[in-house]
Amino acid sequence: MAATLSSFSDDLHSPIMSPPSKKAGTEKICIDEMLEKYCGEFGKWQLKHFILTCLAWALEAFHTMVMIFADREPDWKCVEGMECSADGSVCDMASSSWEWIGGKDASTVTEWSLICGDKFKVGLVQAVFFTGCMIGSFILFSSLLQF
């Protein structure tokens, strides 16, 4: 569509295009209204997606928080008839002179003997778990970019 010179106004100061109206630019909507306008209403698919996402995060939270309870170091007591100091450390005593209160299955620490020189393994498990979460999130993010 070619415009001829005669179709333009003789006034050089008049704009070629009229500026946008002020009324159209002042429309303010909140995030909920914007999502409803461009994405549609909350339907069955959104509910399914919400439930699956919540389930994944709930399982993640369980794995994160279970270490607080499973890796506690329970109290111990001296075995009767053995020489032992209740104020000392179990690392400085013979293993036959003390025992766990609650038995060998009281926690992960007692079951796997994660005391003294093996105490670092408790934190190592958490570090490996979070490293796996980080690697998994990078893999998921890269696959979402291709989608």
The pLDDT of residue 8 is 54
The pLDDT of residue 131 is 93
In a domain, 98, yes or no: no
Produce one character per residue of 66-103: b if its CB has 16 or more CB atoms within 10 Å, e if not: eeeeebebeebeeeeeeebeeeeebeebeeeebbbeee
In a domain, 60, yes or no: no
Quick: pLDDT tens for 42-66: 888 889 989 999 998 888 888 888 8
In a domain, 138, yes or no: yes
In a domain, 133, yes or no: yes
In a domain, 136, yes or no: yes
Q: Strands 76-78, 98-100: parallel, antiparallel or unpaired by DSSP?
A: antiparallel
Which one is predicted more confidently, 83 or 147?
83
In a domain, 139, yes or no: yes
In this model, does residue 95 exceed pLDDT 90?
no
What is the SS3 assignment for 35?
helix
In a domain, 86, yes or no: no
| pLDDT (average), residues 95-124 | 84
| pLDDT (average), residues 79-95 | 80
Give the list of residues 6+ apart from residue 12 with CB closer than 8 angstroms, or none.
none
CA 32 to CA 29: how far, in whole Å?
8
In a domain, 109, yes or no: no
Owning domain of residue 138:
115-147
Which of the 8 DSSP states describes residue 4?
A: P
Domain count along the chain:
1
Strand partners, 99: 77
The pLDDT of residue 21 is 63
The pLDDT of residue 116 is 86
Mean pLDDT (the chain, rounded): 80
Confidence of residue 73 (pLDDT cuts 50, 70, 90): confident
